[in-house]
Amino acid sequence: DIQMTQSPSSLSASLGDRVTITCRASQSMSSYLNWYQQKPGKVPKLLIYDASTLQTGVPSRFSGSGSGTDFTLSISSLQPEDFATYYCQQTYSTPYTFGQGTKLEIK
């Protein structure tokens, strides 16, 4: 199985900050990497697929990059609605494992 490790596990930031979350895979997986946002009590929402392609309707302040084993999710200017938990997921080989999540909190 491909293990996905996110860092940090939690992050405190202020409105307007730029933040970056990292996801590292235990083996190379091309660009089969997705990012999801989940707010408390809500369903996960797809933000980015294919490592860097923004899902329709997702604000452009979100961006993704990387290939192989190292990937990042960046949010350029934090808005109040961005405080949530973020998960990476690889869909290169089954089982399609998720990272453990990064909780983004307001400083």
Partner 1 sequence: QVQLVQSGAEVKKPGASVKVSCKASGYIFTGYYIYWVRQAPGQGLEWMGWINPNSGDTNYAQKFQGRVIMTRDMSINTAYMELTRLRSDDTAEYYCARGPSSLYGMDVWGQGTTVTVSS
User: What residue ranges bind partner 1 (CB under 8 A)?
Assistant: 1, 32, 34, 36, 38, 43-46, 48-50, 55, 87, 89, 91-92, 94-101
Q: Which tokens is 45 given?
A: 């929402």
Q: How many CB atoms lie within 10 A of CB 1?
A: 11
CA-based nearest residue to 78, from 11, 17, 12: 17
Q: Shortest Cβ distance from residue 53 to partner 1 (Å)?
A: 8
CA-based nearest residue to 2, from 79, 83, 84, 68: 68
Q: Shortest Cβ distance from residue 59 to partner 1 (Å)?
A: 16
Q: Shortest Cβ distance from residue 91 to partner 1 (Å)?
A: 4
- The strand pair at 33-38 and 45-49 is best described as antiparallel
Task: Return the number of the residue (24 or 45) whose C-beta is nearest partner 1.
Answer: 45
Task: Return the number of the residue (77 or 93) whose C-beta is nearest partner 1.
Answer: 93
